[in-house]
Chains A and B, each alone.
Chain A
Amino acid sequence: NAGVTQTPKFRVLKTGQSMTLLCAQDMNHEYMYWYRQDPGMGLRLIHYSVGEGTTAKGEVPDGYNVSRLKKQNFLLGLESAAPSQTSVYFCASRRAGDRYEQYFGPGTRLTVT
């Protein structure tokens, strides 16, 4: 099993450009998450999904959109990138229920200039 994979690993954008980050998991997990991590800080939840076709806002959703058209994929979109969105983005997934851990991808390092 590949677990959780993220594409791309690195990206540099200019202010105002758009891009989509792809997260894929092969563990048949119901729940998927997008986080951002800034230097010296913990993870902040951007959006999450508890099933195919459903999404919900996390702590810091502004400037981002998501889609979960297939159970195994969770896409994070930036429509008009801003320097404040420079960060490392992590995707995670887990089984439904309140006793399961999250599995994380390796991260995408995004720089917006």
Chain B
Amino acid sequence: SQQGEEDPQALSIQEGENATMNCSYKTSINNLQWYRQNSGRGLVHLILIRSNEREKHSGRLRVTLDTSKKSSSLLITASRAADTASYFCATDARETSGSRLTFGEGTQLTVNP
């Protein structure tokens, strides 16, 4: 089964608007992480939320986790053109004892100036 499926696949918004991306997964997790990838670059970690947490903030980022629905959302507030990138969720499944992550296919966010 595929873990970490993001929705939508692509999102285009205007600068200043909020962007919301969703992630669904299938198995029990230790934590869920969000990463960002600029075109042609490696991934950069944004935020980690543990299975016993429901919400976490970091600057303009807000992540929620609903383990009963096996879903997470990433909200970027007051978006900027520099936020244009692909965003991936990744799950750290209990069955792999925290040794590895499974990545979704990502959401391509475009923020228009």
Contacts and interface: CB of A to CB of B under 8 A. Distances in A.
A106 B31 contact: no
Contacts of A97: 98
B103 A42 contact: yes
A8 B93 CA distance: 32
A101 B58 CA distance: 15
Nearest to B42: A104
B41 interface: yes
A62 interface: no
Which of B48, B101, B102, B105 has the most chain A CB within a 10 Å cutoff?
A: B101
A92 B3 CA distance: 19
Nearest to A103: B45
Contacts of A103: 45
Contacts of B41: 106-107
A13 B101 CA distance: 29
Interface residues of B, number: 25
Nearest to A48: B100
Contacts of A107: 40-42
Nearest to B5: A42
B43 A31 contact: no
Contact of A50 (B4, B45, B99): B99
B43 A90 contact: yes
Interface in A59-110: 90, 92, 97-107
A42 B90 CA distance: 10
29 contacts: A4-B42, A31-B99, A33-B100, A40-B105, A41-B106, A42-B88, A42-B103, A42-B104, A42-B106, A43-B43, A44-B103, A45-B100, A45-B101, A48-B100, A92-B42, A98-B30, A98-B31, A98-B97, A98-B98, A99-B31, A99-B50, A100-B48, A101-B48, A102-B43, A102-B101, A104-B42, A104-B44, A105-B42, A107-B42
